[in-house]
Amino acid sequence: MLRFALPEYRLPKAVLAKEIALIERLGVKFAFNTRVGADISLNDLDDGFDAVFIAIGTWKETWIYLPGTELKGVYPALNFLEAIARGEKPEIGSKVAVIGGGNAAIDSARSALRAGAKVTVLYRRERQDMPAIEEETLAAEEEGVEFVFHAAPHRIIGDTKGNVRAVEVMKTRPGEYDASGRRKPDPTDEIRRFDCDSVIFAVGETVDQDFCRASGLVLKPNGTFEVDRFTLETSRPRFFAGGDVVTGASNVSNAMAFGKLSARIIDRQLMETDRWESLFPQIEYSQELPHETNEDRRHFSTELPAEERVKSVEEVVCGLSAEDAHKETCRCLRCDIKVVTAM
């Protein structure tokens, strides 16, 4: 997902390559082009390793079958983002409609915008119900992406050559609250048409059901792996799972947290002792308040101006300068470490 789903303007591939190189230098080995269940079986992994951690994520698109989804110019969001990441140029035309309100929808919209298209995001609920990161949504608006709420996809209209020409949406109204804590988008009879050259569906991701069923491991009703909540162990001994394959589609931060937690659990189980403190020792602080308080206001990361960033794929968030980072650490009332070492 870091390489093929997150756009360059959010995560430069050079930064990702550097991070992966650091992991390799630690001694981690990578085996690419190896399909578990085809090139190698779970039994082979069982025989060759002391523990197996499954973190396949949610790479399968959730799909909506509507009239017109077979037309040329209809793209699943992950396929579209992957094509962009590979340096390809999908034929999206000058007007793009994006269906959805999550991060994949916003990433698709901003990527299409950088390809020179006029972009409209159509979402069936209210703005406050969007699962996308608020900062990303605001950035998309600044760049020129238009948003239409209470709009559920109805059908896609094509021409005689099988190309997308428009998308029809049904206006919705807020209904009763559902299990997610949001109000259901109840349909009305009002239909609205948006002319467009392509439609990108970003309505969610799910796990690879075929792989999960073939694994023989116990699954939840939604198709994710059933694991012990304390050990992350699956129904098969020494097989662990974490990330989106356990929680359902989430985000990178949660997936990485699962990886760190599982590493600690697996190491403790194999070594029969908790060695984590030797890797991440606790640091003792005096907990004394500083004699002089720093009255600087909070420092924020700088961003490229909207009119500049839509013309390229340069990283949008520039971070703090060394001076601002130093000042920000000095604002802390508890930490007694004020020395900044140049990297």
Dump pLDDT digits (tens) for 230-245. 999 999 999 999 999 9
Q: Does residue 311 lie in a domain region?
A: yes
* Torsion region of 146: left, alpha or beta (phi above 0 gives left; psi -120 to 50 gives alpha): beta
Range of the domain at 174: 63-203
Q: What is the pLDDT of residues 32-89, one digit of tens each?
A: 999 998 899 989 999 999 999 999 999 888 888 899 999 999 999 999 999 999 999 9
Instruction: Give yes or no for a contact between 119 and 98, defined as CB atoms under 8 angstroms apart.
Output: yes
User: In this structure, what CATH number is given to the domain that contains residue 69?
Assistant: 3.50.50.60
Number of domains in the chain: 3
* 122 in the same domain as 42: no
For 51, 179, 247, the CA distances from 129, given in Å and listed in that order, are 40, 13, 20
In the block, tokens 């069923």 appear at 213
Q: What is the pLDDT of residues 221-230, one digit of tens each?
A: 888 999 999 9
Q: Does residue 263 lie in a domain region?
A: yes
Which of 31-35, 184-188, 278-282 has the lowest average pLDDT?
Answer: 278-282
The rounded mean pLDDT for the chain is 91
* 188 in the same domain as 72: yes
Q: Does residue 178 lie in a domain region?
A: yes
Which of 103-107, 175-179, 188-192, 334-338 has the lowest average pLDDT?
Answer: 334-338
* 244 in the same domain as 169: no
* 196 in the same domain as 83: yes
Share of the chain above pLDDT 90, in %: 73
* 150 in the same domain as 210: no
Beta-carbon contacts of 304 under 8 Å, excluding residues fewer than 6 positions away, are 314, 315, 316, 318
| pTM greater than 0.95 | no
Mean pLDDT of 132-144: 96
Closest CA to 343 of 326, 330, 327, 328: 326
Is residue 342 over pLDDT 70? no
Residue 278 tokens read as 């030797």
Closest CA to 168 of 140, 148, 183: 148
Q: Does residue 4 lie in a domain region?
A: no
Q: What is the pLDDT of residues 102-123, one digit of tens each?
A: 999 999 999 999 999 999 999 9
